[in-house]
A = this chain, B = another copy of it.
Amino acid sequence: MTEEETGKINKFDCILASARKLIEQEGFSSFTMDKLANNAGVAKGTIYLYFKDKNDVLENVLKSGFQTMFSRMTDKVEKKETPEEKIKTLIYENLLYIGENKYFFKTVFLDEMHVVFLKKTSQESYNLRRRKYAVFISEIIIKGIDEGIFKNLLDPLKAGFYLISLIKTNAIYNFRNNKVEFNEDLIKSEAAEIFDIFIDGIKN
């Protein structure tokens, strides 16, 4: 991708655009400086005139992918009056931004975790396990919908994934805040919190 092709004026932006494109196409794990040089139409040494090292390239790609999102979102959200409207707007704007940068976010989101270190076939079995879990939850939800307890409006399988993500987020939050000591009471209250938000939402 030369300067004319990308429409970028300077080499920094040109290399960055190539890096992003490569990452979107092939993911983080197969991203190499040789490929980047080749793809950007410059010599390998040239990259090092504009970026400190590979980490610097990756950091800039991620930065550029996320940077406009936050400012655009806050602009839109702050125009709204009520907390509910603000949250509604935030969700919409966020999904819109993801849609506009779909190839970027597809890689960033799907190139998840350790999965990156596994071969394709192992990744598939890993994802199947997760899916099996979501299916199990979806069956419970379907039963609840049939009984009229749960809303009929949403894809039960997706709801299963939603619940899994809430549980995972809870764990990550506690890990990050060094609440590593799990006692039974703590787990009970955390579980009740997740249950409450999933079943009833945050509304009073």
Contact = CB atoms under 8 A, between A and B. Distances in A.
Interface of A: 28-29, 55, 58-59, 62, 66, 70, 74, 77, 82-84, 86-88, 90-92, 94-96, 98-100, 102, 105-106, 108-114, 116-119, 122, 125-127, 129, 132-133, 136-137, 140-141, 143-144, 147-154, 158-159, 161-173, 175-176, 180, 182, 187-188, 190-204
14 contacts: A55-B122, A62-B114, A62-B118, A66-B129, A70-B129, A82-B149, A83-B141, A83-B143, A95-B171, A111-B114, A112-B113, A144-B202, A150-B202, A200-B203
A126 to B, nearest CB: 6
A182 B123 CA distance: 26
A113 B108 CA distance: 7
- Scoring A119, A187, A193 by chain B CB atoms within 10 A of each residue's CB, the highest score goes to A187
Contacts of A91: 163, 167, 191, 194-195, 198
Given A55-B119, A77-B140, A84-B149, A170 B114 contact: no
A202 B199 contact: yes
Nearest to A144: B83
Contacts of A192: 88
Contact of A144 (B62, B84, B96, B161): B84
A150 B148 CA distance: 25
B92 A188 contact: yes
Contacts of A133: 70
A153 B193 contact: yes
B119 A204 contact: no
Contacts of A204: 148-152
